[in-house]
Amino acid sequence: MLRYDKLSKDLYIRNRQKLAAQMAPGGLAIFHSNDIMPTSADGTMPFKQSADIFYLSGVDQEESILVVFPDSFHAQHKEVLFLKETNENIAIWEGAKLTKDEAHQVSGIKTVYWLNQFDRIIHGLMSEASCVYLNSNEHTRAVVEVETRDARMGKAFREQYPNHRYERSAPIMHRIRSVKEQEEIDQMQRACNITRDGFNRVARFVKPGVKEYEIEAEFMHEFLSQGSRGFAYTPIIASGFNACVLHYIENSDVCKEGDVLLMDVGAEYGNYASDMTRCLPVSGRFTDRQRSVYNAVLSVMREAMTLLRPGVYLHEYHKQVGELMTKQLLDLKLIDRHDVDHEDPAWPAYKKYFMHGTSHFLGIDVHDVGLWNQPIQAGHIFTVEPGIYIREENLGIRLENDIVITENGFIDLMGDIPLEAEHVEETMNTGVAAS
């Protein structure tokens, strides 16, 4: 039994139809679940399903294989799922795996075989197929240092069937996964709501002397108690100078009076991610300087949200955000006109204090797949997360919400999480979020 509410099998049926519509005639696509990764001794890492097979089937189980073959001569083999068969020993030690009927109810796939039938079934299908789509992690930021199940199985497949033509499924998956269905948006809204409740809990908890990892624990308690499996990514709980380290994850320092605490956290729900950043004044009130920097970041965030719309290219959007940030940094006197007039176009002056991108795709993965060389579409979900990091002042401010692009604007999935500096302070000091 899963701890989260499952999405309908109709969603996964539609997702497979989207894939099939973009495959070449005679194409056969294969998707594998992730491996269970070892740690040491007999330990393993928590299982995290491969995003692509989950998107296409809803199956959240290891050692699963999905085959999509729209042009199969036999109707029952147009979609086939292969699963690990439960036995008495597995049922006793791990709990029973999906039955064939349960897999059908989850995925809408009628033909389900056990894994030990894969070689025989696929051999027959390969005699019909003219090309094979193999899956791989082609995210632009991916650093893959271990051999994945997709890579291992794909290598064996090429050796066994060397005369077939091979294609990449990743470009298709990036295109179709990036445009979210309403059910997916609703699931992500659930993740954002859990994150909101975590923020409100933490805002009442933070005070001088609290340790960063105690704050992390407060978030985790709220997330788990609402059916989330925890953080959608490794949380950043960074007070004082730590907030100027963009990927600070030690979360080991003490929050000191007068410092600002930066929290980049998000709950997952049903394998979908949320991604929030908020900043809290540890003492309960921002200083005038902290408030000025905070409001500068908030101003860029508000304007950036309006720039993300259908037809816009992300690289052009990021240039526009850079111009917005340049104006704010000039007003804060962190840079001057000479810096701007003589800047290196490859590393503009504003990058000294805002050195990362403003938005990325969000979905099943926190840095979700999407085509950066194609214009934004309605149904894309992006983070919006500008920041200013002043190392010489031990001050880092970043603010981040998740928005759904619509035909005429956007929907802010985190619109009810305190964001204005005054609302943040009120939440900390009264325990009630401002409306």
For the segment 357-374, the average pLDDT, to the nearest whole number, is 97
Q: What is the pLDDT of residue 431?
A: 58
Q: How far is CA 268 from CA 58, 345, 388, in A?
A: 16, 38, 27
- 2 occurs within a structural domain: no
Domain annotation covers residue 338: yes
Q: Of 143, 177, 211, which residue constitutes the final position of a domain?
A: 177
Within this chain, do residues 57 and 192 fall inside the same structural domain, yes or no? Answer: no
Q: CA dihedral defined by 203, 397, 190, 52, rounded to 10 degrees?
A: -140
Note the pLDDT tens digit of each residue in 19-74.
999 999 999 999 999 999 999 999 999 999 999 999 999 999 999 999 999 999 99
Give the residue-averaged pLDDT of 256-261.
98
Asked which of 9-13, 34-38, 183-187, 250-254 is least confident by mean pLDDT, the reply is: 34-38
Average pLDDT taken over every residue of the chain: 96
Please tell me whether residues 186 and 308 are part of one structural domain: yes
Share of the chain above pLDDT 90, in %: 93
In the structure, how many helices (H) and strands (E) does the chain have?
A: 13, 16
Quick one: tokens of 14? 């539609």
- What pLDDT shows up at residue 188? 98
Q: Report if residue 3 sits inside a domain.
A: no
Residues 364, 279 share a domain: yes
- pLDDT confidence bin for 433, thresholds 50/70/90: very low
Kindly state whether residue 435 falls inside one of the protein's structural domains: no
Q: Which residues pair with 405 in a beta bridge?
A: 410
141 and 248 belong to one structural domain = no
Domain that holds residue 406: 182-430
Which of 177, 199, 232 finishes a domain? 177
**136 and 194 share one domain:** no
The SS3 call for residue 306 is: helix
In this structure, the answer to whether residues 300 and 353 fall within a common structural domain is yes
Q: Quick check: helix, strand or coil at residue 162?
A: coil
Query: Which are the contacts of 162, defined by CB distance < 8 A and separation ≥ 6?
Result: none
Which helix (H) or strand (E) covers residue 100, if one does?
helix 100-107
Domain of 173: which CATH number?
3.40.350.10
Per-residue pLDDT of 296-327, as tens digits, reads: 999 999 999 999 999 999 999 999 999 999 99
> What b/e string do you get for 269-292 counting C-beta neighbours within 10 Å, with b at 16 or more?
bbbbbbbbbbbbbbbeebeeebbe
Tell whether 115 is covered by a domain: yes
Q: What is the rounded average pLDDT of the residues 114-136?
A: 97
CATH of the domain at 383: 3.90.230.10
Residues 215, 145 share a domain: no
346 shares its domain with 242:
yes
Q: Are residues 93 and 218 in the same domain?
A: no
Asked if residue 375 belongs to a domain, the reply is: yes
Are 318 and 407 found together in one domain? Answer: yes
Distance CA 35, CA 154 (A): 14
CA atoms within 13 A on the CB side of 122: 21
Number of domains observed in the structure of the chain: 2
> Given CA atoms 53, 58, 60, 61 in this order, what sign does their dihedral have?
negative
- The single-letter DSSP state of residue 343 is -
Answer with the one of 155, 177, 199 that is the final residue of a domain. Answer: 177
> How do residues 78-98 score in pLDDT, each as one tens digit?
999 999 998 778 777 777 889
Name the percent of the chain lying above pLDDT 70.
98
239 domain-assigned: yes
- Band (294; pLDDT cuts 50, 70, 90): very high
Q: How many Cβ atoms sit within 10 Å of the Cβ of residue 421?
A: 18
Q: pLDDT category, 1, cuts 50, 70, 90?
A: low
Query: Tell me: the pLDDT tens digits for 190-215?
Result: 999 999 999 999 999 999 999 999 99
Helix (H) or strand (E) holding 406: strand 401-406
Helices (H), 226-275: none
pLDDT in tens, 130-183: 999 999 999 988 888 889 999 999 999 999 999 999 999 999 999 999 999 999
Per-residue pLDDT tens over the stretch 376-398: 999 999 999 999 999 999 999 99
**Structural tokens at position 126:** 């390969």
Q: Are 414 and 305 in contact (CB under 8 A)?
A: no
Listed in order, strand segments (DSSP E) in 1-123 are 27-32, 65-68, 79-83, 111-114
Please report which helix (H) or strand (E) contains residue 280, including its range.
Answer: strand 276-281
Residue 190 counted as domain residue: yes
Query: Do 170 and 186 belong to one domain?
Result: no
Confidence of residue 435 (pLDDT cuts 50, 70, 90): very low
Exposure on the CB side of residue 277, measured as CA atoms within 13 A = 28
Same domain, 156 and 253: no
